[in-house]
Structure 1
Amino acid sequence: MRGLLPPSESWLDATAVVESYRPPPGRFVRANFVHALDGATSVDGASAGLGSDADHQVFTVLRAWCDAVLVGHGTASGEGYGPVGADAEVAELRAELGRPADAPVVVVSRRASLAPGDRLSAPPTVLVTCASADPDRRSALTEAGVQVLVCGEDDVDLPAALDALAARGLEQVLCEGGPSLVRAAVAADVVDELCLTTAPLLVGGAAGLLGDHGLPTPRAVRLVQLLEEDGVLLARYSLR
């Protein structure tokens, strides 16, 4: 990869890329997303069609730095999410950075849709739901070893959820979508940084980064880093 902002005199090696994504200490929420030039966030319903070696490298780095991965149930189900530590490349890099080999996947679901027996329905998975979710389902998930956090009455209260995660030592949170969750997180003002990969593709016909709904008010962001490899742009935007 080469650095466009700040500019680099030579190509960045793997170590330099890892260091460029080192998060600040304390509570920090990143959202990571890949999209096409026209804003599409999937090809045939999955984000894998937009992927590249550069995007995969940054995906691995971001997962290596985080304490927890935050994801909506629809994305976790549709993308076949499993334990973070099951990815040997991520686990190896986490070990090199002195991090635990695994990090919990935190599934957000207003209806507690995660089912006992699912790939993620075991420790260290965390489910964030709300009080209106079926209490029997919540109890069954707890018995299966899922840590269930009730945050909000009729919908998930994301600020309260992040407070609860931080109280459990999970301060560095990586939000991986989907669009509805990213929109809700930005609207709730809990996202500190957006890591956005732009694939050199035109797809069309798919929802954008924030889904089909706009924000209450436009949100200004500041570009703090831009890398490039084979036409793929990897940007970091600060929302603070």
Structure 2
Amino acid sequence: MSTQTPIDRIWPDPETALDDDALLAATRFPDDGGWMRVNFVSSLDGAATRDGVSGGLGDDADRRLFALLRRPADVVLVGAGTVRDEQYEGLRVDDASVAWRVARGMPAHPTLAMISRSLSLDPASPMFADAPARPVVYTAASAPAARREALQQVADVVTVGATDADPRRIRDDLTARGLRRIHAEGGPHVFGALLAAGVVNALHLTLAPTLEAGDAGRIVRGESAGDLPSRARLATVLRAGDELLLHYVLR
């Protein structure tokens, strides 16, 4: 029988074998909400993917923390390319997370929000058909009208720019919907745009103990502009075996 790799806190206040409550406390959103954090995994040499997807880099501890980071979120924000590459389905958290959320007066599952300039998304896909909460799709005015009309049957389609999606308008719209605790899962181009717009508050980065080589991209892509480069303050260091799970505050 396999066992979970224990997750220890090595800084600050070292502690071994943290339970879920302790991990949630170590990664919690501020009480007043209005916070956007981004979650990524990277190899030691900076690769953000293995064989084109990020899932192959993390182990069971990374997957455990990935699920726990979703637990208190009002919304999970992700780019359309990542949705397709990582094969997202209807956004549902596990039973323990549902119980945790309902006990705190939250909806059973977070809302899924996507960013797509071209609206190249399949309205019949499970991420829409099996969504427990109506998804939100952020797009540009230049997106094809036929795709917009099709997606409006299964999601709220919101225009937040002329030819590209404006991250500040995305954050403002989510906040207006009461979705203040924003958990973003990439991809790298989305992270770059969010950073450049100055709307990211924190980064949760799993550092996988592997060297990947190849031509995999890094966790941030795009032109350096706006608030780039960004300084980060280390908030928490967790360890699971040879893997590090790092929490940085950016703003």
Question: Which TM-score band applies after superposition, normalised by the shorter structure?
Answer: over 0.9
User: 1:98: Cα distance to partner?
Assistant: 4.7
| Correspondence for 1:148 among 145, 148, 157 | 157
Please give the residue correspondences for 1:224-235 in structure 2 after superposition, counting only pairs within 5 Å: 224-235=235-246
Provide the secondary structure at the position in 2 that maps to 1:208: coil
Measured on the aligned residues, the alpha-carbon RMSD in Å equals: 1.7
Choose which of 127, 130, 133 in structure 1 pairs with 2:143. Answer: 133
CA-to-aligned-CA distance 1:17-49 (integer Å, 9 cap, x gap): 121111102210000000110110111111111
Secondary structure of residue in 1 paired with 2:234:
strand
Which ranges in structure 1 are unaligned for 5 or more consecutive residues? Answer: none
Judge conservation of contact 2:118–2:139 (CA < 8 Å) in 1: yes
Partner Cα distance (1:89, 1:53) in 2? 17
Tell me if the contact between 2:70 and 2:93 (Cα under 8 Å) persists in the aligned partners.
Answer: no
Deviation of 1:94 after TM superposition, in Å, equals 3.4
Tell whether the 8 Å contact from 2:205 to 2:245 is kept in structure 1 after alignment.
yes
**2-side partners of 1:88 and 1:184: how far apart?**
33
The answer to whether the aligner puts 1:23 opposite 2:32 as a matched pair is no
Q: Is the counterpart of residue 100 in structure 1 residue 110 in structure 2?
A: no
Pick closer, same or farther for the CA change 1:26–1:76 going to 2, 3 Å: same
Greater shift in the superposed pair: 149-158 or 117-126 = 117-126
> In the TM superposition, what is the alpha-carbon distance from 1:136 to its structure 2 partner?
2.1
Shift of 1:2: 1.5
Q: Does structure 1 retain, via aligned residues, the 8 Å contact 2:78–2:186? A: yes
Please tell me whether the aligned partners of residues 90 and 128 of structure 2 are also in contact (alpha carbons under 8 angstroms): no
Q: Distance in 2 between matches of 1:69 and 1:104?
A: 6
* Maintained 8 Å contact 1:108/1:127: yes
In 1, Cα distance between equivalents of 2:103 and 2:60: 21
TM-score normalized by structure 1? 0.93
Query: Which residue in 1 is equivalent to 2:220?
Result: 210
Structure 1 residues 98 and 6: alpha-carbon distance in aligned structure 2, compared to 1, 3 A threshold: farther
The SS at the match of 2:183 is: strand
> Which amino acid is the alignment partner of residue 201 of structure 2?
D
Whole-angstrom CA distance in 2 between matches of 1:97 and 1:234: 27
Q: Alignment partner for residue 112 of structure 1, among 113, 119, 125?
A: 119
In 2, Cα distance between the equivalents of 1:215 and 1:222?
Answer: 20
Question: CA contact under 8 A between 1:103 and 1:124: conserved in structure 2?
Answer: no
Partner residue of 2:66 out of 56, 59, 67: 59
AA aligned opposite 2:191: V
Percent identity for Structure 1 against Structure 2: 39
**Residue 189 of structure 2: which of 180, 204, 207 is its match?**
180
The aligned residue for residue 250 of structure 2 is 239
Rate the CA distance shift 1:21–1:110 in 2: closer, same or farther, 3 A: same
Matches within 5 A, 1:68-107: 68-85=75-92, 87-88=94-95, 90-95=97-102, 98-107=105-114
SS of the residue 1:65 aligns to: coil
Cα deviations by residue, 1:22-81 (Å, 9 ceiling, x for unpaired): 110221000000011011011111111111121111111110011011001010011111
Aligned residues: 238
Distance, in Å, in 2 between the alignment partners of 1:72 and 1:201 is 26
Q: Distance in 1 between matches of 2:89 and 2:229?
A: 34
Q: What is the rounded CA distance, in whole Å, between the counterparts of 1:225 and 1:96 in structure 2?
A: 27
Q: 1:126 to 1:34 in 2, by over 3 A?
A: same
Partner deviation per Cα, 1:118-176 (whole Å, 9 max, x = no partner): 22234511110011111221122112x21111101110011001101111111111110
1:138 counterpart SS class: helix
